[in-house]
Amino acid sequence: MAYEPSEIMTAAALTYKDKELDKASESYDGLVALMSDIKKNIPKSKMLEYGNTSIRNGFLSLIDEKDEKKIKDLAVGISAAKGFREYSNTKSGGTVYLTGNVLPKDVQKFQVSAFGMKDYNSSDLMFSPNGKVFYGLSLKKKNKPKAPEPTLINKAFDSILVGKQFDKIKKELVDIRIKYFSNIVIEAVSKNIIRKGDIKDFDKLKNNPAGKKELFEAKNRDKKKFDRAYIDTKGYYKAKGGYKDSNTNDSKSMRYFVNRKLSEKDNELYTAFVKVMNNNAQLFADSLINLILKTKLYEQLDVKELNKFQFNFALITGVADVSEKNNTVNIYSASVLPLETTLCGLTRLEKMFKNKKYEIKINKEKSARSKGAKVFLKLIRGNVTLLDLEIRYKGAFTPQPQFQATINDEYKRLLAKECGM
């Protein structure tokens, strides 16, 4: 598994008192001294629990007082730890559980696999002051309060379409992709990027649905010439390395051509995606809000009948930056979004815009500024934007595009006004 340094740093910070953290935060050298102390004491601390020895060793290996990036993560961890304490009204002491890909024994009861996600309970850390009340912390980080919000989800687009109710929609989206990308292959042939004779039976393939699927998937391609599907080809037939040429900055290359098509204003593929999403707006909105903001987590935990325990979930964004060169440390107040606050905001939206449905719109301003193979969207109800969404292709075009999401400032302002965020 990949280990995120800010998680062990937040966990370590929770073993210190606030006044100790404040003292260390006065200078870069102070954080270096704190990291050295963490390196000495955390391996033997009984406050931290891990899923297994491998996870323990993986996290402990990230403690390095000589690495400026790790010092920056420590500053972020201090911000997150202090923000958590203010939210939970807890002081030093208690037990911190680092989840990793295996949960420590005492918190395995809070693991939730639901909605197509193994870790629907996405807590990076869990904390308990007394063994009865538990907190799940989903940790994010940024360097300044006004920096862009960190991504809350980064998954293949079809992974958010969970359940039989999405089966028809999934097929529709696949058909859209086949039509769009097969037409690009046909256009590439007309522009001599791909030589017509290098695609067997090209004239037959381009004129029927099964043929267009083959032009997209290229399962029967000449693998000596094409090391990947036609649409994923990097080079072009006159390139020095042929279709396998890796210079994708060459304006004559297939990869350059496809990326340019996807970045066109009012792109046909993304416009079709948005149309399908808006035809099923409530379904998409419910799924997006649930998977991104974990709005059904408490319901899932209730099913497990954990009556002896109380579980609270919060998204915490640590905010900090440091400079070894200037010996400066800037640690800001963390952003804390408890699940209760999220649910309060959704209830307020329901009352405010009872007769208005969710909408998914293209963010034309952001999309126009982008030159990549991506589109920016907004999930809106009434006059409030809840989520900023992004659909993007990263390299290959035959797989599903990646889907990312962040919380919009308009929704955060509503939470602050209506729900005391």
The residues near 2 (Cβ < 8 Å, ≥ 6 apart) are: none
User: Is residue 186, in this structure, part of any structural domain at all?
Assistant: yes
Predicted confidence at residue 264, as pLDDT, reads 87
Predicted confidence at residue 421, as pLDDT, reads 65
Beta strands in 339-411 (DSSP E): 358-362, 374-381, 384-392, 402-407
Give the distance from CA 257 to its chain's centroid: 28
Query: Domain end: 247, 264, 281, which one?
Result: 264
**Residue 122 and residue 35 share a domain:** yes
**Residue 221 and residue 121 share a domain:** no
Query: Domain end: 215, 242, 264, which one?
Result: 264
Q: Determine the Cα–Cα distance for residues 26 and 260; give it in Å rounded to an integer.
A: 49
Predicted confidence at residue 194, as pLDDT, reads 98
**Residue 182 and residue 103 share a domain:** no
Domain ranges, residue 244: 172-264
Give the distance from CA 153 to its chain's centroid: 3
Provide the residue-wise pLDDT of the chain in tens; the chain has 421 residues: 689 999 999 999 999 999 999 999 999 999 999 999 999 999 999 999 999 999 999 999 999 999 999 999 999 999 999 999 999 999 878 999 999 889 999 999 999 998 888 889 999 999 999 999 999 999 999 999 999 999 998 888 888 888 889 999 999 999 999 999 999 999 999 999 999 999 999 999 999 999 999 999 999 999 999 999 999 999 999 999 999 999 999 999 999 999 999 988 889 999 999 999 999 989 999 999 999 999 999 999 998 888 889 999 999 999 999 999 999 999 999 999 999 999 999 999 999 999 999 999 999 888 878 777 888 999 999 999 999 999 999 889 999 999 999 999 999 999 999 997 6
**Residue 119 and residue 24 share a domain:** yes
Q: Determine the Cα–Cα distance for residues 245 and 288; give it in Å rounded to an integer.
A: 39
Query: Domain end: 230, 264, 298, which one?
Result: 264
Q: Determine the Cα–Cα distance for residues 417 and 179; give it in Å rounded to an integer.
A: 46
**Residue 249 and residue 180 share a domain:** yes
**Residue 95 and residue 192 share a domain:** no
**Residue 178 and residue 135 share a domain:** no
Predicted confidence at residue 1, as pLDDT, reads 67
User: Is residue 342, in this structure, part of any structural domain at all?
Assistant: no
**Residue 40 and residue 137 share a domain:** yes
Number of domains in the chain: 2
Give exposure, 273-301, as e/b (b: 16+ Cβ within 10 Å).
bbeebeebbebbbebbbbbbbbebbeebb
Give the distance from CA 356 to its chain's centroid: 28
Q: Determine the Cα–Cα distance for residues 73 and 272; give it in Å rounded to an integer.
A: 41
Q: Determine the Cα–Cα distance for residues 85 and 72; give it in Å rounded to an integer.
A: 20
For residue 403 the two structure tokens come to 């889907």
Give the distance from CA 211 to its chain's centroid: 35
- Measured CA angle at 136 (ends 132, 139), to 5 deg: 155
For residue 109 the two structure tokens come to 């009861």
Please check whether residue 159 is in contact with residue 166, taking contact to mean a CB–CB distance below 8 angstroms. Answer: no
Q: Determine the Cα–Cα distance for residues 272 and 283; give it in Å rounded to an integer.
A: 17
For residue 168 the two structure tokens come to 């028809």
